[in-house]
Amino acid sequence: MKRTITHLADGRELFYFDRHDDADRGAIDKRDLPPRPPASELRYDPLTEEWIAVAGHRQGRTFLPPASECPLCPSTLGNLTEVPSSAYDVVVFENRFPSFSAQRGEHHQVGGLSEVRPGTGRCEVVCFTSDHGSSFSELSAGQVELVMEAWIDRTAELSAMPGVEQVFCFENRGAEIGITLAHPHGQIYAYPYVTPRTRLSLGAAERHRERTGGNLFADVLAAEREAGIRVVASNEHWTAFVPAAARWPVEVHLYPHRQVPDLGGLEPAERAAFGPLYTEVLRRLDGLFGVPMPYVAAWHQAPVNVGRELSYAHLELFSIRRAPDKLKYLAGSESAMGAFVNDVLPEETARLLRSLVTG
Q: Is it true that 2-193 and 197-293+302-355 share their CATH fold?
A: yes
Quick one: which of 168, 202, 206 has its CA closest to 186? 168
What fold does the segment set 2-193 form as a domain? HIT family, subunit A (3.30.428)
Every domain of the chain and the residues it spans? 2-193, 197-293+302-355
pLDDT of residue 111: 83
pTM above the 0.85 mark?
yes
**pLDDT exceeds 80 at position 106:** no
Confidence of residue 358 (pLDDT cuts 50, 70, 90): confident
Q: Which band of pLDDT confidence, cut at 50, 70 and 90, is reported for residue 317?
A: very high
The architecture (CATH level 2) of 197-293+302-355 comes to 2-Layer Sandwich (3.30)
Q: State the average pLDDT over residues 107-111.
A: 76
In whole numbers, what is the pLDDT of the chain averaged over residues? 96
pLDDT in tens, 228-278: 999 999 999 999 999 999 999 999 999 999 999 999 999 999 999 999 999
183 is in an annotated binding site: yes
What's the pLDDT at 60?
A: 86
Min mean pLDDT across 66-75, 100-109, 197-206 is at: 100-109
Active site residue 237: no
> Active site residue: 57, 185, 237, 300, which one?
185
In the predicted structure, residue 105 carries a pLDDT above the cut 90: no
Annotation-wise, does 132 bind a ligand? yes
Residue 359 pLDDT > 70, yes or no? no
Q: Is 107 annotated as a binding residue?
A: no
Instruction: With beta carbons less than 8 A apart as the criterion, state whether 190 and 122 touch.
Output: yes
169 is an annotated ligand-binding site residue: no
